[in-house]
Amino acid sequence: MIDIDDIQGRLKKLNDGISEMRSYLDIENRREILAVLEAEATKPEFWNDQVAAKENIAKTNGQRAFVRPFDELVHLLEEASLLLELAAAETEGEQRQQAFQEIVHSCDKADVLCSKLRLQSLLGGKLDSCNAFVTIHSGAGGTESCDWADMLFRMYRMYSEDNGFTLEILDEQPGEEAGLKSLTMLVSGPYAYGYLKAERGVHRLVRISPFDANKRRHTSFSSLDVVAELNEEIDVEIKDEDLRIDTYRSGGSGGQHVNKTDSAVRLTHAPTGIVVAVQSERSQHKNKSKAMSMLKAKIYEYYEDRQRKEMERFYGEKGEIAWGSQIRSYVFQPYTMVKDHRTDEQTSNVQAVMDGHIQPFIEAYLKQNATKA
């Protein structure tokens, strides 16, 4: 049986937390900024400048990502407090207990919203609110690692769906027998990069291989690279003489889906050696535009990495996707465990992780780096 004193105590704790959160999240200032941005978007000439319009929308989404959950949280607790007053006036009985259960459910939902807002408050980096270009590469392990890359793609696709992000595949190279050699996607949504940057690095899988007739245990590696889609405030200059542009025919599933023109685009930046490819659109012009956006993002991240020596920390000097460089291990046999080697966060529920429940690992990483900062 649910005790009214426990509910009152929980509601008080949540309301105290909201008051604190209103201040350190600067909600009222965010609300004012949001109002100005939304007013700009209603002007008839808003779309005359496409670049400025897109910048406005990105900023609007960034502010809404804080204001809307906070307002939902306040509304949730106001309704729960009112329901508690009504339930307290009832005599002991089934209706009163049902009301208490509904209040407990509201408190549980409020706890989730509080956690999300606290986590978002750690995302104060210059690019954290941006969309993210995510590239998965298979590493040492042949067909096994290609299959592992495909499993990771499924994991991040499910994570994106659960968190309201949209996902667009820009380039895909299938494995020879199964899985993926590589895949590049754009993950769009408020703070997509802020969250997914925690996943950048080498991921190691240990399992009994479904491709081994002798059922031996295999170790496979795949890497995840994450860069932010740059906003217009950050300019990356690319000289024409440094850029090589190749066009080729997009891959497809056969029949009417095969593209019969050279619409796919591959860009190579000579000074850095960075190569990007996009084949998601039927139009070569659109593919080139998306490829340029991704190339600028990767070049920006490349020079940022050189300044803070992040590449050595994540991949080692030669960037090998192999032993000793992993950020996280996923063990299916002889026991089940997923462990992040940077934070020591771990769980034995491997299936939940593979179904996209990776937020505890992301949260642990963000908290650890916030402490370092």
SS3 assignment, position 90: coil
pLDDT digits (tens, 9 = 90+) for 277-326: 999 888 899 999 999 999 999 998 888 877 655 444 444 444 455 555 78
Q: What is the pLDDT of residues 267-278, one digit of tens each?
A: 999 999 999 999
* pLDDT tens track for 72-121: 999 999 999 999 988 887 766 788 888 889 999 999 999 988 988 888 88
Q: What separation in angstroms does the CA of 47 have from each of 42, 57, 107, 293? A: 10, 11, 42, 20
Residue 254: the pLDDT is 39
- Alpha-carbon radius of gyration of the chain: 24
Top-confidence residue, 85 or 258: 85
Domains annotated for the chain, with CATH where assigned, are 4-120 (1.20.58.410), 127-373 (3.30.70.1660)
Say what the pLDDT of residue 308 is: 59
Task: Enumerate the β-bridge partners of residue 267.
Answer: 245, 276
Q: Identify whether the C-beta of residue 134 lies closer than 8 Å to the C-beta of residue 187.
A: yes
- Write down the pLDDT at residue 357: 96
pLDDT band for 251, please (50, 70, 90 cuts): low
What's the pTM? 0.76
* 3-state SS, one letter per residue, for the chain: CCCHHHHHHHHHHHHHHHHHHHHHCCHHHHHHHHHHHHHHHCCCCHHHCHHHHHHHHHHHHHHHHHHHHHHHHHHHHHHHHHHHHHHHHCCCCHHHHHHHHHHHHHHHHHHHHHHHHHHHCCCCCCCCCCCEEEEEEECCCCHHHHHHHHHHHHHHHHHHHHCCCEEEEEEEEECCCCCEEEEEEEEECCCHHHHHHHHCEEEEEEEECCCCCCCCEEEEEEEEEEEECCCCCCCCCCCHHHEEEEEECCCCCCHHHCCCCCCEEEEEECCCCEEEEECCCCCHHHHHHHHHHHHHHHHHHHHHHHHHCHHHHHHCCCCCCCCCCEEEEEECCCCCEEEECCCCCEECCHHHHHCCCCHHHHHHHHHHHHHHC
pLDDT for the residue numbered 94: 80
Phi/psi region, residue 319 (left: phi>0; alpha: psi -120 to 50; beta: rest), is: left
At 246, list the tokens: 């190749």
Structure confidence at residue 190 (pLDDT): 86
Q: What is the mean pLDDT of the chain?
A: 87
